[in-house]
Amino acid sequence: MIPRFSPLKRAALGALVLTAIAAPALAQMEPPPPGAMIMIKKHMGPPTPEMEKAMADRKAQMARDMHTVLRLRPDQEAAWQAFEGAMAPQAMRAGMPEMPKGPGGAMEQMDRMDRHMSAMSERHKKMQSAVRTFYAALSPDQQQVFDALVRLRGAPGGHGGGGEGGPRMMRGGPGHP
């Protein structure tokens, strides 16, 4: 025989079951350790001058390493300088316009976005041209080394995505007309 509960006992039992089900959802996560908060705050917002110097030093070292690993000949130096200049962070920032903001309706915003995307496309074409010119100046052995470096470190300019999206794609390699 099934015991019958009074309405008060049923309500209390229902509340208890609902509380048990909802309890995990009400649990709060522990706050991150103090060091993590400092790290998060440090990396929010624009980079500090120290961070910019460290990034510039790292990029310069990477360029020196690439020059050494590729064993560039004197006749390739001009192509290297043009490539390095096009991939420099300052050149990238100068060629990359800020996303426009401002008042206006949907059509004005769309027009601003179109202009922004056109400017970004032009910057990409310049970088692509620099990579192609440099790549063409390399010997086949150097091209293999360059391809390997791109796969290991990402695309020139520090934007990742080597491999199929690297220099071979830019010159019409496999799967890319």
What share of the chain in percent tops pLDDT 90? Answer: 17
Q: How many CA atoms lie within 13 A of 108 on its CB side?
A: 6
Number of domains into which the chain is organized: 1
Is residue 56 assigned to a domain?
no
The Cα 96–Cα 127 span in angstroms is: 11
C-alpha to C-alpha distance for 95 and 157, rounded to whole angstroms: 13
* Parent domain of 133: 66-170
Residue 149 lies in a domain: yes
In a domain, 57, yes or no: no
The answer to the question of residue 47 being in a domain is: no
**pLDDT tens digits, 3-62:** 777 888 888 888 888 888 887 777 766 776 666 666 666 667 777 888 888 888 888 888
What average pLDDT does range 139-162 have in this prediction? 76
Reading the block at residue 71, the tokens are 């064993």
Considering the entire predicted model, what is its pTM?
0.54
